[in-house]
Amino acid sequence: MKTNYIKVDMEGLGKLNFTEKAVFSYIKSLSKEKGYCFSTNKHLCAVFSLTDRTIYRILKRLEESACIRRETKSLGYDGKQRRIYINPQYKH
């Protein structure tokens, strides 16, 4: 059984609750390779066993706290593409 460990410096994230920090840490780990995370809400829901509405609120809170920045662009008939960027302050 493979276990993934996520290590993130939590300094400056004191205003977030535990779940918000966990989601932020996960997004940060997924963004290491390309510089952004393209995970869907559905994937985040499955990983954390949370509802879509809760993930939506957490992402909104992370964005309002300047931890992340989201960019969404239309792909025409293929839907949308979302990229989640980590604030450079938290990249180390």
C-alpha atoms less than 13 angstroms from C-alpha of 83 in its C-beta half-sphere:
12
Give the CATH number for residue 23: 1.10.10.10
Instruction: State how far the alpha carbon of 30 is from the alpha carbons of 41, 74, 76, in Å.
Output: 14, 22, 26
Does any domain span residue 26? yes
Does any domain span residue 29? yes
Does any domain span residue 40? yes
Position 92 scores a pLDDT of 65
Q: Report the number of distinct structural domains present in the chain.
A: 1
Residue 32, domain extent: 18-87
Position 3 scores a pLDDT of 57
Position 17 scores a pLDDT of 93
Q: What is the pLDDT of residues 14-30, one digit of tens each?
A: 789 999 999 999 999 99
Does any domain span residue 52? yes
What is the C-alpha to C-alpha distance for residues 15 and 21, in angstroms, rounded to an integer? 10
Does any domain span residue 37? yes
